[in-house]
Chain A
């Protein structure tokens, strides 16, 4: 009897979670249906499996180009964030003076600022940088990466700073006596020890930057530079009536996320938990 109850509970929980994900089923099922099938019953399994809509959506969304842009922008943004904010956080944590305190507090305080408060003046400033210094901030992936690094710096420095404080300083001191430069000490001794928090910083920023819509929508107008959220937005503006095509398009955007989740599930859940609690 007890075993049966436990078994039923297991099944129940599984189906509850499955029901939770039912919208995903609905997209998959309808992405294969032709128009008539879709209007007959949106909940039924497709009768014919045709990848026609995937091919069409891929073409209309310019999916491969968007995927490439998203990968490029996310990878380099996260790379710069990890390198620059770990270096900064270590220096700030290990140099106990007024300046370090002020800089660190400024990083913390700006975490309070919502993006909407900064977006318009940021665009003005980027415009003047483009015009006066002739550095193209708009319509370049590098310009967007620059801005992503800026927006992610507060939380990343904050997370690294907390972690550095928990590492005993004696190791570094021993290395310094041995004649290693600060650069060597950091990259050879400190950075490898930061690995757990580096994973957290990477995960948090990958999720935020990959999914960000508003900032790229303001800085990238060139269609060839669109990221996945951007191309999804424009795709939906044009094809909402053709739901099967739209569903195939949505599935395409979800696939990379599922792959990322499957590869790094343990790290993601741990990283999210740590990032939230700190």
Chain B
């Protein structure tokens, strides 16, 4: 009797969310695998043709897809380095007991709250008009011009804006890490006569390793999945030169109407993102055991 009653409570508490979760995540995921074996243009009245693994084989011949994969990788590497450098620098600065530290922290974190789409539009103006002006005024027209018009600089522009968005976020993680370092360890090193750099290299950085791993992989997976900033800043242009993975999938499905082929890409995308995230979890867990 009591068991039956408990079961009823169990269902009452979990069923509503499970129903929503299964409808929104689980069933579409399984449907997505199914669709990736078909050729279909997305129009309900048109037939879905079963093509087996053809979509996945066809992927290897898709040069635009490979180009997109390559620039996404390039972007991800540059973005991870840049975000973590800027974030860590600010974290070290704002934990240095300066009176303006709090205000600085507040300001640096601000861009993260503004959505990627809006950030992209803000920087579109900065690159197109402000950069041009700075170039004319300073004479450094080789550096300050409209980056968005040049294929390789457009990629750097994306790295730039992504850094602006994410630096404050990883800064918060690094701050938590730095504040977690016991004060006596640092004081001991000062008594032993360590200079600033030695302190940083031999005490702070090794103890920051957990925060480092978390920030690294967080930026890694969010850089790899970038879409909003991509859409509003460059729109994939000029001439498809900044069409990242996520945008390539969107365009293949909803732009070109290749639903089956696009979904095959989306499945591959899932495997890559999952691999990145699982590696992170593995490394974090391993380190936790060691500490």
Residues of A within 8 A of B (CB): 6, 9-11, 13-14, 16-18, 20-21, 23-24, 26-27, 30, 41-43, 84-85, 87-88, 90-92, 95, 103, 106-107, 110-122, 124-125, 127, 129, 146-147, 149-151, 153-154, 157, 181-183, 186, 207, 210-214, 229, 232-233, 236, 240, 243, 246-247, 250, 253-254, 257-258, 260-261, 265, 268-269, 272-273, 276-277
How many residue pairs link A and B with beta carbons under 8 A? The number is 244
B141 at the interface (CB under 8 A from A): no
Q: Please state if B26 and A106 are interface contacts (CB–CB under 8 Å).
A: yes
Q: Please state if B28 and A272 are interface contacts (CB–CB under 8 Å).
A: no
Q: A17 to chain B: which residues have CB within 8 Å?
A: 90, 100, 103-104, 107-108
Q: Please state if B273 and A250 are interface contacts (CB–CB under 8 Å).
A: no
A128 CB, nearest partner CB in chain B, Å: 9
B105 CB, nearest partner CB in chain A, Å: 8
B268 CB, nearest partner CB in chain A, Å: 9
In whole angstroms, how far apart are the Cα atoms of A247 and B111 in the complex? Answer: 16
Residue in B110, B117, B173, B266 whose beta carbon sits within 8 Å of that of A232 in the complex: B117
Residue in B23, B106, B262 whose beta carbon sits within 8 Å of that of A265 in the complex: B106
* Chain B residue at minimal CB-CB distance from A262: B106
In whole angstroms, how far apart are the Cα atoms of A206 and B138 in the complex? Answer: 42
**8 A Cβ contacts from B88-137 to A:** 90, 93-94, 96, 98-101, 103-118, 121-126, 129-130, 133
B197 at the interface (CB under 8 A from A): no
Q: Please state if B113 and A261 are interface contacts (CB–CB under 8 Å).
A: yes
Q: Please state if A253 and B118 are interface contacts (CB–CB under 8 Å).
A: yes
Q: Which A-B residue pairs are the 4 nearest by beta carbons?
A: A150-B24, A211-B115, A121-B31, A17-B104
B205 at the interface (CB under 8 A from A): no
Q: B274 to chain A: which residues have CB within 8 Å?
A: 112-113
B145 at the interface (CB under 8 A from A): no
Q: Please state if B13 and A114 are interface contacts (CB–CB under 8 Å).
A: no
Q: How large is the interface on B (under 10, 10 to 19, 20 to 34, 35 or more residues)?
A: 35 or more
Residue in B9, B32, B44, B246 whose beta carbon sits within 8 Å of that of A120 in the complex: B32
Q: A13 to chain B: which residues have CB within 8 Å?
A: 93-94, 98, 100-101, 104
In whole angstroms, how far apart are the Cα atoms of A268 and B253 in the complex? Answer: 36
A10 CB, nearest partner CB in chain B, Å: 5
* Chain A residue at minimal CB-CB distance from B278: A112
Q: B13 to chain A: which residues have CB within 8 Å?
A: 87-88, 90-91, 182, 186
Interface of A is mostly: helix
B188 at the interface (CB under 8 A from A): no
A176 CB, nearest partner CB in chain B, Å: 11
Q: B231 to chain A: which residues have CB within 8 Å?
A: 213, 233
A275 CB, nearest partner CB in chain B, Å: 10
Interface of B is mostly: helix
Known: A87-B13, A151-B25. A276 touches B218 (CB 8 A): yes
A11 CB, nearest partner CB in chain B, Å: 8
Kindly specify which of B14-22, B51-59, B62-70, B74-82 makes contact with the partner chain: B14-22
Supply 26 A–B pairs (Cβ within 8 Å), ascending by A: A14-B103, A17-B90, A27-B122, A42-B129, A87-B13, A110-B29, A114-B266, A114-B273, A116-B250, A118-B24, A120-B254, A120-B259, A124-B28, A127-B44, A182-B9, A183-B9, A186-B13, A213-B115, A213-B231, A247-B125, A269-B172, A272-B109, A272-B112, A272-B169, A272-B172, A273-B175
Residue in B24, B112, B176 whose beta carbon sits within 8 Å of that of A122 in the complex: B24
4 further interface pairs, Cβ-Cβ under 8 Å (given A246-B125, A247-B125): A113-B270, A127-B44, A211-B118, A269-B105
In whole angstroms, how far apart are the Cα atoms of A124 and B42 in the complex? Answer: 9
Q: B109 to chain A: which residues have CB within 8 Å?
A: 268-269, 272
B267 at the interface (CB under 8 A from A): yes
Q: B106 to chain A: which residues have CB within 8 Å?
A: 265
In whole angstroms, how far apart are the Cα atoms of A229 and B24 in the complex? Answer: 22
Q: A183 to chain B: which residues have CB within 8 Å?
A: 9, 12
Residue in B16, B20, B32, B125 whose beta carbon sits within 8 Å of that of A27 in the complex: B125
Q: A207 to chain B: which residues have CB within 8 Å?
A: 112-113
B228 at the interface (CB under 8 A from A): yes
B173 CB, nearest partner CB in chain A, Å: 5
Q: Please state if B133 and A43 are interface contacts (CB–CB under 8 Å).
A: yes
B225 CB, nearest partner CB in chain A, Å: 5
B37 at the interface (CB under 8 A from A): no
